């Protein structure tokens, strides 16, 4: 006869060492599975609350930056303020991402297409500054408020880039909302440099995707308030100190970066 599995033995370690003592009480042990099922839901509720809090505060605090950027964009380049693009989002449903316009119109159909290189001629003069400072990404705060995105998560990709993933990755990667920042963004902050220095940028672009996939799947397996908080901290630190190596020190079990893209 098969032995009955103890309720606490089915709980992942970070939760089990908290709930295991409760399992010693007969009247409480039957509730453990229900408590476990509540943990992911609780994380999602906390994550959404943090998203709304950070996005609202950021929108208020960053308005002194938004206003002059909007004015400059209206007066220069293509005279476009925002750039909207179809991206793959939560549960693989498409949505329109918001960014400040940094490139000439119809840029995805010109030159290297979805791949942006350093000193890319499609990038406007002011757009170069916005991209270097990552200010061009800030309008995604609106996507967070709308519920399309989270502050932290896998980066939302264009369909052409999304299709570089294997089917097994595509089936899993957006089981959480895409983020303004994430572990992939931290590790590949220098992606434009890597692609620009490659003999064949398009071949290199395809070559880095298996590693990107392993990073995003790592995040899915480690999702927690702590992980999200550390990624937010590291994103801010990357702006102040772009060459830091704190990411690998804080997250010691990250997938190893292949030599090809080192």
How high is the pLDDT of residue 25?
Answer: 52
How high is the pLDDT of residue 10?
Answer: 44
Q: Report the C-alpha gap between 211 and 204 in whole angstroms.
A: 12
Which residue matches tokens 């480690």? 222
**Domain limits, the chain:** 41-261
Neighbours of 87 (CB within 10 A): 20
* Residue among 79, 177, 99, 85 at smallest CA distance from 142: 99
How high is the pLDDT of residue 37?
Answer: 53
Q: Report the C-alpha gap between 222 and 62 in whole angstroms.
A: 30
Detail the DSSP E strand segments found in the chain. Answer: 82-88, 94-100, 150-152, 179-181
Nearest 5°: CA angle at 65, between 156 and 96?
A: 25
How high is the pLDDT of residue 24?
Answer: 53
* Residue among 60, 108, 114, 55 at smallest CA distance from 232: 55
Alpha carbon distances (Å) from 27 to 22, 24, 39, 117: 9, 9, 20, 62
How high is the pLDDT of residue 152?
Answer: 97
Q: What is the pLDDT along the chain (262 residues), one digit of tens a residue?
A: 444 544 444 444 444 444 444 445 555 555 545 544 556 788 999 999 999 999 999 999 999 999 999 999 999 878 899 999 999 999 999 999 999 999 888 777 677 777 787 778 888 889 989 988 889 999 999 999 999 999 999 999 999 899 989 999 999 999 999 999 999 999 988 887 888 888 888 888 888 889 999 999 999 999 999 999 999 999 999 888 878 889 999 999 999 888 766 5
| DSSP helix/strand/coil, 120 | coil
Q: Report the C-alpha gap between 45 and 55 in whole angstroms.
A: 15
How high is the pLDDT of residue 116?
Answer: 80
Count of alpha carbons within 13 Å of 194, Cβ hemisphere only? 19
How high is the pLDDT of residue 45?
Answer: 92
Q: Report the C-alpha gap between 250 and 254 in whole angstroms.
A: 10
With b for 16 or more beta-carbon neighbours within 10 A and e for fewer, the 227-246 pattern comes to: bbebbbebbeebeeeeeeee
The span from the first CA to the last CA of the chain, in angstroms, equals 54
How high is the pLDDT of residue 257?
Answer: 85
């Amino acid at each position: 006869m098969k032995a009955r599995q103890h309720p606490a033995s089915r709980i992942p370690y970070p939760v089990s060492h908290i709930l295991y003592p409760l399992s010693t009480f007969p009247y409480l042990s039957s509730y453990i599975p229900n408590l476990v099922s509540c943990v992911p839901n609780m994380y999602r509720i906390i994550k959404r609350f943090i998203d709304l809090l950070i996005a609202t505060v950021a929108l208020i605090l960053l308005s002194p930056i938004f206003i002059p950027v909007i004015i400059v964009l209206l007066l220069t380049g293509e005279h476009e303020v925002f750039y909207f693009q179809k991206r793959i989002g939560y549960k693989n449903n498409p949505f329109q991402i918001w960014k400040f316009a940094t490139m000439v119109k119809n840029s995805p159909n010109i030159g290297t297409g979805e791949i942006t290189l350093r000193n890319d001629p499609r990038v406007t003069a002011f757009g170069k500054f916005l991209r270097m400072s990552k200010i061009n990404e800030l309008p995604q705060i609106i996507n967070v408020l709308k519920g399309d995105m989270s502050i932290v998560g896998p980066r939302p990709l264009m369909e052409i880039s999304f299709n570089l993933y294997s089917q097994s990755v595509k089936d899993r990667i957006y089981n959480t909302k895409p983020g303004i920042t994430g572990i992939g963004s931290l590790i590949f902050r220098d992606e434009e440099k890597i692609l620009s220095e490659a003999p064949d940028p398009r071949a290199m672009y395809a070559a880095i995707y298996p590693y990107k996939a392993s990073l995003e799947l790592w995040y899915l397996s480690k999702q927690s308030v702590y992980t999200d908080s550390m990624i937010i901290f590291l994103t801010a630190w990357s702006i102040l100190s772009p060459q830091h190596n704190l990411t690998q020190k804080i997250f010691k079990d990250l997938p190893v970066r292949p030599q090809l893209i080192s």
